[in-house]
Homo-oligomer: A and B are copies of this chain.
Amino acid sequence: MSGKKMNFSLTQLEYAMAVHRYGHFAKAAEACFVTQPTLSMQIQKLEEELGAIIFDRSKKPILLTQMGKKLIEQMQVVLFEAKKIGSIIQQDKKGTKQGSLVMGIIPTIAPYLLPRLLPVCENLFPDIELQIKEMQTSQILKALDDDEIDVGLLATPTQMNKMFEYALFYEPFYVLCEKKHDYAQLKKVKYQSLGMEDIWLLEEGHCLRNQILDICSTRRGKGVQRRYKFESGSLETLKNLVNQYGGYTLLPSLATENIGSRSQLVPFERPIPAREVGLVYRREHYKSELIEALGEAILKCIPEELRKIRPKDLDVLPIAESDRR
- Which residues in A have some Cβ–Cβ distance to B below 8 Å? 2, 4, 6, 8-10, 14, 50-53, 56, 58, 65-67, 70-71, 74-75, 77-78, 81-90, 92-93, 145, 147, 162, 282, 284-286
Contact = CB atoms under 8 A, between A and B. Distances in A.
A6 B67 contact: no
B51 A71 contact: no
A135 B222 CA distance: 113
Contact of A90 (B2, B71, B84, B88): B2
Given A8-B85, A52-B89, 9 more contacts: A2-B90, A4-B86, A50-B86, A52-B92, A66-B147, A70-B92, A74-B81, A74-B88, A77-B84
A79 to B, nearest CB: 8
A285 to B, nearest CB: 8
Q: Taking each of A65, A282, A284, which has the highest tally of chain B beta carbons within 10 Å of its own beta carbon? A: A284
9 closest residue pairs by CB, A with B: A53-B284, A78-B81, A52-B286, A78-B82, A74-B85, A77-B81, A52-B89, A70-B88, A65-B147
Contacts of A284: 53
B78 A6 contact: no
B86 A6 contact: yes
B87 A2 contact: yes
A185 B78 CA distance: 74
A160 to B, nearest CB: 11
Contacts of A70: 88, 92
Contacts of A147: 56, 65-66
Contacts of A8: 10, 85
B51 A82 contact: no
Contacts of A65: 147
A75 to B, nearest CB: 6
A74 to B, nearest CB: 5
Contact of A75 (B9, B10, B85, B92): B85
Given A58-B145, A147-B56, A85 B2 contact: no
Contacts of A6: 10, 14, 82-83, 85-86
A86 B46 CA distance: 11
Contacts of A84: 74, 77-78
A81 B83 contact: no
Nearest to A162: B58
A250 to B, nearest CB: 35
A284 B54 CA distance: 10
Contacts of A10: 6, 8-10
Contacts of A86: 2, 4, 6, 50
B145 A53 contact: no
